[in-house]
Amino acid sequence: MSNFRFVIGRFLGAIPTLLILICLAFLLVKSAPGGPFDFERSLPEEVEANLRAAYNLDDPVYLQLFKYIGDLLQGDFGPSFQYRDYTVTELIATGFPVSLRLGTAAIFLALIFGSIIGSIAALNQNSKLDYGVMFFGMIGISIPNFVMAPLLVLFFSIGLKALPAGGYNGGDFYHMILPVVSLALPQMAYIARLTRGSMIEVLSSNFVRTAKAQGLPTRSILLKHVLKPTFLPVVSYLGPATAAIITGSVVVEQIFGLPGLGRYFVQGALNRDYTLVMGVVVFYGCLIILFNLVVDTLYGFIDPRIKQNR
Amino acid sequence: MKKRTAIIMTSLLLFGCGPKVSNETPIKELLTIGGPSGNELAQEQVFRKNNGSDPGTLDPHRAEGVPASNVLRDLYEGLVSEAANGDYIPGVAESWSISEDGKTYRFKIREEAVWSNGDKVVAEDFVFSLRRSVDPKTLSNYSSMLYPIKNARDVVLGKLPTDKLSVSAESENTLLIELEEPTPYFISLLTHSTTYPVHPPSVREHGSSFTRPENMISNGAFTLKDWRIQDYILLERNEKYWDNSSTTLSQVYYYPLDNPDASLRRYRANELDFTDTTPSEQLPWIKKNLKEELKITPYFGSYYYGFNNTKPPFKDNPELRMALSLAVNRTIITDIVLGAGQIPAFTFVPPVKQYQGKEPGWAKLTQDEREGLARELYAQAGYSGSNPLSIEIIYNTSENHKRVALAVTSMWKKVLGVETKLRNQEWKVFLETRRLKEETEIFRGGWIGDYDDPYTFSELLHSENEMNHSGYASKEYDALLRSASLKPAGKERTNDLLQAEQIMLNDMPVIPLYFYVSQHLIKPWVFGLEGNVMDHHYSKYVKILKAETAVSE
Amino acid sequence: MKKSNSLLNDAWAALSKNKAALISATTMVLMVLMVLIGPLFSPYAIDETDWYRIATPPTLFDGHIFGTDDLGRDLFVRTMYGGRISLMVGLVATMVSVMIGVTYGAVAGFMGGRVDALMMRFVDVLYAMPFLFFVILLMVFFGRSIFLIFVAIGAVNWLDIARIVRGQTLNIKGKEFVDAARSGGVSTIKIIMKHIVPNLLGVVVVYVALTVPQVILVESFLSFLGLGVQEPMTSWGALVNQGARQMESSPWMLVFPAVFLATTLFCFNFIGDGLRDALDPKDRTRGND
């Protein structure tokens, strides 16, 4: 029962969060210079007036905000200013699956490989293998993905002609490899470092040393006593890792020409597509809140002490 | 650790770059195009183009910008069309006649013209479409292009209802258009998307959603199969098009890649057949390694820096304006900074048809002489080393604009000692800043002609034109423009425009920098495209030739 | 006070045993010296264009030891100046977030109870914002001054340090010597200043060392989108971006700034790790880097 209340409590607490997010984003976007209807050929006044009326731009700001929230509750994110024949809801619906695919694959890759690599390093501490892994870790963290991605393309697509240089092509495997790897690399490196540090810590803890001294088989030590505390910090890093993946996706989608939300967002911001920008911010905000909820719950299950403290 | 790191990193990066500057590849790949006869077609007739960005809409009456026009050109056909080399040829109208006074045009719609659903294209369709185009409720931002048509202006401004537009169907196949003045470039206007016909039943039924792939009925060589935002636009051959037998392609892909470097990479990986432009910093490399595929053609556009003539320091200060213009070394900008073959400009209107701008006297001096003159004028304007001019250049965000601005800044500093600040803004903000004329001192300007007549450039500096961001107001200039607009095409009209340009150049309200070139990378197996000054390309002329690679030692 | 002294001594002892951290620290000092003094050794200015030496490789002959970029500007001078900007952005933005975060976290932790709960709830709210999107929005909408970069990154980044500081404050607050001070009648402010803040130094220093590289990366990310520092100023991020575009034709344009950037990031990370090990070994499991 306490589980249930915990989840509900967090859920309800998320609502004011969301509202504040929406208001903040709305005000920010509205106060920006440059309107969506600035075109090279100046509009005749009549037409401009019609445009503004069609998009409700002449109402006072708070009215626009209320209308926006009202529409949101019905799942209507409004019309896009840039793509005049499409609604933001449609755009998010087509863009999100792309980013989702990219992001989930990247997170899994980072998590799995990062943990494995970090564990190997920890189990072979101070060996050449360990240094090699740590070096790789450092490279991953220090080379920005807008350098890594073109390098990968140069090598694999143009040099070896083995992989496509860009495009989504419905998200097929070959087109996703380079973008996912570019996106995952920094996080993989980070998780490797984290796992290694955490595992070394745990391996040298009194608890484990006692178990070893008592002659327990290595395998059961690993499984029963080492895994959980090692991966606790990794689980709690999932939140920031996801945030990093979301922001990294903006670069990766741009470089590889993937039609995801990150790309929509940047184009929207540069083209003053208010509704699209707002839509993406609100959408991601919801996702992050949801994700944090899931992580918190997971964490609560893994480490019962935490739940008590709340 | 640092040294090892540095060495390893450096070698990784250099290794990863592969064989860089040399163009000797260990295994030579020979590409044969078109098989033994040179004309054999590839099995897959698919053309993949980079378009630079996504169109905002595919409604021909509301679309704006080059990317949208490129796609619309394949989807729709107007009264007039163009050959691959840019010559005007009949489109939906198989012939037309112009009255003596140049104000009445009669078009004969060809019998075979049909929509993609089989409906006949009739004159009434054009009446409907042109009325829709000028209707203020359509929210078109290019309706001012149609002002040459009688009453168009009043309809756009809401003073007259749409049915007062002087366009009518004399019969099922005869269209009558009456103009305000004899407009020599009217035929050219009819290739612009604002004049394309739309399918009236579709518009009535779907409203603005008639542009969706599932709803669109068009009359061009291709139909809209799919549009995935920020991914691609897919066009498919329109079997019902009246000239379908001449079309070879079965599909065209338009990609919206706005990053020229990414686009170059995709091109090199053979994922694109055609790029819309090339990154200028990479031009030396491209010229060395992709020489045959780089296609450069003069483009009907003028790149300039405008002064804000409504405020100091440039208001009423022709010496200062002239000094700054003289101090720019245009050849360095075109040959070194940009390097694609742009043409240094000493006049404002690019050469077109019978019009060749007369270069001012200072164009014939050497650059050193010009700089000497610049220094004199600068001093006359009251500036010196101890009292330098301090100004700001505003441009819209782009790598190329930045390079030009940096170059000009450095030239002004070296020659005159001017302190220049640079500010860039994105397109939408830039447009607003430039239009308001409150913050601008020097702004970047570039204009591509809407139709192939000098007037499209001359009118930019007319005192009442909303796109006259420099605030230039000269009674003589305006008078000459007015006089030209009343004349039919011919020597007299050209002379009026030439004279007007002379007057303008003496006042130097803008600094002409260069005339554009279009720069495309086109794969060797793409056949049928020709360079033309408007850079209009129709996919219906394109064939994909067979391409086979043979490995030889 | 005695406790802090021995803490520092312990820290120093532990740190000096960490070879990586020491080498990194030395490297950083050398790096800072280099970016400050380096340009003096070159005859070229940061914006001096040379049309006849466009994109030339490194050479010893005409003083372009790192080569030139695509406008003929000397790469060595630009890399040095770029370093100044990158390091400055890193430090200033981090300091902004530290100032906001430490104050916020210390107050929340110390006040405890409802105030604490409310304040941390607010932090939770902000955590949900896709923060980089807001930075992008701010930069896009309000212009591109370097000042705005500091503020935007700093103001959006303070959440982590606030949480850490609050946690640490709660920790310290529960210790006996604080109770003793309180019951002894020492004022709140004095307690905060004398007992809590010195014990926060540890976490703050670790945070700074680990956040500076992140901020530098954020700036380079903004440069990728065209929103970073503007010409003629430059940063390592901007230089790396330009270099990445021409890595095939002019690899030196990428290699030199990238090496400097990567080295700086390495060093700060090692220093941060070392400090964290030295000051609070238990902290490693928290994972909030």
Q: What is the DSSP string of B17-68?
A: T-S-S----SSEEEEEESTTTT-PBPSS-EEEEE-SS--S---TTT--SHHH
For chain A, the first-to-last Cα distance in angstroms comes to 15
- Judge: A285–C261 Cβ closer than 8 Å, yes or no: no
Q: Which chains touch C (3 or more CB pairs under 8 A)?
A: A, B
Burial of B552 (0-12, 13-18, 19+ CB in 10 A): exposed
Q: What is the pLDDT of residues B8-32, one digit of tens each?
A: 444 444 443 433 333 444 444 677 8
- Judge: C258–B9 Cβ closer than 8 Å, yes or no: yes
B-interface mutation test, from A84, A91, A161, most B Cβ less than 10 A away? A84
- Greatest CA span in chain B, whole angstroms? 86
- Say how many residues make up chain A: 310
- Judge: B262–A254 Cβ closer than 8 Å, yes or no: yes
- Judge: A50–B139 Cβ closer than 8 Å, yes or no: yes
- Judge: C258–A147 Cβ closer than 8 Å, yes or no: yes
Question: What distance in Å separates the CA atoms of residue C75 and residue C52, rounded to the nearest whole number?
Answer: 15
**pLDDT exceeds 70 at position A35:** no
pLDDT for the residue numbered C78: 93
Q: Which 3 state secondary structure label does DSSP give B208?
A: helix
Q: In the numeric block, which tokens belong to residue C162?
A: 């606030």
Higher pLDDT, C264 or C157: C264
pLDDT for the residue numbered B14: 43
- Judge: C127–A194 Cβ closer than 8 Å, yes or no: no
CA angle B268, B269, B273 (to 5 degrees): 70
Question: What distance in Å separates the CA atoms of residue B40 and residue A135, rounded to the nearest whole number?
Answer: 54
pLDDT for the residue numbered B226: 95
- Judge: C231–B422 Cβ closer than 8 Å, yes or no: yes
- Claim: this prediction has a pTM higher than 0.90: no
Local confidence band at C120 (pLDDT 50, 70, 90 cut-offs):
confident
**pLDDT exceeds 70 at position A37:** no
Of B5, B405, B426, the CB nearest to C140: B426
C-interface mutation test, from A134, A136, A142, most C Cβ less than 10 A away? A142
Of C226, C246, C254, the CB nearest to B13: C254
- Judge: C269–A138 Cβ closer than 8 Å, yes or no: yes
Q: Give the pLDDT mean for A25-34.
A: 72
| pLDDT mean across residues, chain A | 81
Residue with the two structure tokens 């051959």: B237
Local confidence band at C150 (pLDDT 50, 70, 90 cut-offs):
confident
Q: Which of A163-172, B133-142, B351-360, C117-126 has the lowest mean pLDDT?
A: C117-126
Q: In the numeric block, which tokens belong to residue B183?
A: 């407009």
Pairing of strands B88-90, B232-237: unpaired
Residues in chain C with CB shorter than 8 Å from the CB of A233 are: 284-287
pLDDT for the residue numbered A60: 78
- Judge: B64–A40 Cβ closer than 8 Å, yes or no: yes
Of B285, B337, B424, the CB nearest to C248: B285
pLDDT for the residue numbered A304: 58
- The CA radius of gyration of chain B, in Å to the nearest whole number, is 26
**pLDDT exceeds 60 at position A22:** yes
Q: What is the pLDDT of residues B37-90, one digit of tens each?
A: 888 898 999 999 999 988 989 999 998 889 999 999 999 999 999 999 999 999
Of A21, A146, A281, the CB nearest to C241: A146
pLDDT for the residue numbered C202: 77
Of A83, A165, A168, the CB nearest to B269: A165
pLDDT for the residue numbered B21: 37
Question: What distance in Å separates the CA atoms of residue C102 and residue C80, rounded to the nearest whole number?
Answer: 32
Residues in chain C with CB shorter than 8 Å from the CB of B6 are: 259, 263
Residue with the two structure tokens 């006049």: B347
Q: Which 3 state secondary structure label does DSSP give B233?
A: strand
Burial of C9 (0-12, 13-18, 19+ CB in 10 A): exposed
Q: Which of C237, A99, A146 is nearest to B261 (CA)?
A: A146
Q: Give the pLDDT mean for B152-167.
A: 92
Higher pLDDT, C254 or C281: C254
Question: What distance in Å separates the CA atoms of residue B369 and residue B327, rounded to the nearest whole number?
Answer: 10
- Judge: C71–B279 Cβ closer than 8 Å, yes or no: no
Would you call B426 an interface residue with chain A, using a CB distance cutoff of 8 Å? yes
Local confidence band at C283 (pLDDT 50, 70, 90 cut-offs):
very low
User: Nearest-CA residue of chain A relative to C118?
Assistant: A13
A-interface mutation test, from B428, B435, B468, B469, most A Cβ less than 10 A away? B428
Would you call A210 an interface residue with chain B, using a CB distance cutoff of 8 Å? no
Question: What distance in Å separates the CA atoms of residue A252 and residue A166, rounded to the nearest whole number?
Answer: 10
Q: ω into residue A304 within 30 of 0, thus cis?
A: no
Residue contacts between A and C (CB atoms, under 8 Å)? 131
Å from C155 to nearest chain B CA? 23
Question: What distance in Å separates the CA atoms of residue A117 and residue A95, rounded to the nearest whole number?
Answer: 33
Q: Give the pLDDT mean for C262-267.
A: 90
Share of chain A above pLDDT 70, in %: 88
Q: What is the pLDDT of residues A111-122, one digit of tens each?
A: 999 999 888 888
Q: What is the pLDDT of residues B85-132, one digit of tens each?
A: 999 999 999 999 999 988 999 999 999 999 999 999 999 999 999 999
Q: What is the pLDDT of residues A157-215, one digit of tens each?
A: 888 888 988 888 888 899 999 999 999 999 998 898 888 888 887 877 777 777 777 77
DSSP-derived secondary structure letter, B82 = E
Of C124, C125, C286, the CB nearest to A233: C286
Å from C222 to nearest chain B CA? 14
Burial of C276 (0-12, 13-18, 19+ CB in 10 A): buried
Highest mean pLDDT among A246-250, B168-172, B465-469: B168-172
Local confidence band at B6 (pLDDT 50, 70, 90 cut-offs):
very low
pLDDT for the residue numbered C110: 78
Local confidence band at B404 (pLDDT 50, 70, 90 cut-offs):
very high
Residues in chain C with CB shorter than 8 Å from the CB of B279 are: 245
CB within 8 Å of C265: residues ≥ 6 apart: A138, A141, A142, C213, C216, C217
- Judge: A233–C287 Cβ closer than 8 Å, yes or no: yes
Q: What is the pLDDT of residues B294-351, one digit of tens each?
A: 999 999 999 999 999 999 899 999 999 999 999 999 999 999 899 889 999 999 999 8
Q: Which chains touch A (3 or more CB pairs under 8 A)?
A: B, C
Question: What distance in Å separates the CA atoms of residue B336 and residue A25, rounded to the nearest whole number?
Answer: 44
Asked whether the CA dihedral C78, C81, C84, C90 is positive or negative, the reply is negative
Share of chain C above pLDDT 90, in %: 17
Q: What is the pLDDT of residues B412-466, one digit of tens each?
A: 999 999 999 998 888 878 888 898 888 899 999 999 998 889 999 999 999 988 8
Burial of B95 (0-12, 13-18, 19+ CB in 10 A): exposed
CA angle A41, B280, B433 (to 5 degrees): 30
Å from B450 to nearest chain C CA? 30
- Say how many residues make up chain B: 553
| pLDDT mean across residues, chain C | 81
Of C23, C24, C251, the CB nearest to B14: C251
CA angle B14, B16, B22 (to 5 degrees): 65
Residues in chain A with CB shorter than 8 Å from the CB of B212 are: 85
A-interface mutation test, from C166, C216, C241, C285, most A Cβ less than 10 A away? C285
Cβ pair C249, C239 in contact under 8 A:
no
Of C51, C230, C249, the CB nearest to B282: C249
Question: What distance in Å separates the CA atoms of residue B351 and residue B302, rounded to the nearest whole number?
Answer: 10
- Judge: C23–B1 Cβ closer than 8 Å, yes or no: yes
Of C130, C217, C248, the CB nearest to A154: C248
pLDDT for the residue numbered A41: 62
| pLDDT mean across residues, chain B | 89
Å from A212 to nearest chain B CA? 35
Would you call C124 an interface residue with chain A, using a CB distance cutoff of 8 Å? yes
- Judge: B266–A34 Cβ closer than 8 Å, yes or no: no
- Judge: C137–A28 Cβ closer than 8 Å, yes or no: yes
Q: Give the pLDDT mean for B507-535.
A: 94
pLDDT for the residue numbered B12: 47
Q: Give the pLDDT mean for B229-248.
A: 94
SS (HEC) of chain C: CHHHHHHHHHHHHHHHHCHHHHHHHHHHHHHHHHHHHHHHHCCCCCCCCCCCCCCCCCCCCCCCCCCECCCCCEHHHHHHHHHHHHHHHHHHHHHHHHHHHHHHHHHHHHHCHHHHHHHHHHHHHHHCCCHHHHHHHHHHHHCCCHHHHHHHHHHHHHHHHHHHHHHHHHHHHCCHHHHHHHHCCCCHHHHHHHHHHHHHHHHHHHHHHHHHHHHHHHHHHHHHCCCCCCCCCCCHHHHHHHHHHCCCCCCHHHHHHHHHHHHHHHHHHHHHHHHHHHHCHHHHHHCCC
Residue with the two structure tokens 């999100």: A96
Residues in chain B with CB shorter than 8 Å from the CB of C143 are: 425
- Judge: A250–C262 Cβ closer than 8 Å, yes or no: no
Would you call C248 an interface residue with chain A, using a CB distance cutoff of 8 Å? yes
Q: What is the pLDDT of residues C63-105, one digit of tens each?
A: 788 989 888 899 999 999 999 999 999 999 999 999 888 888 8
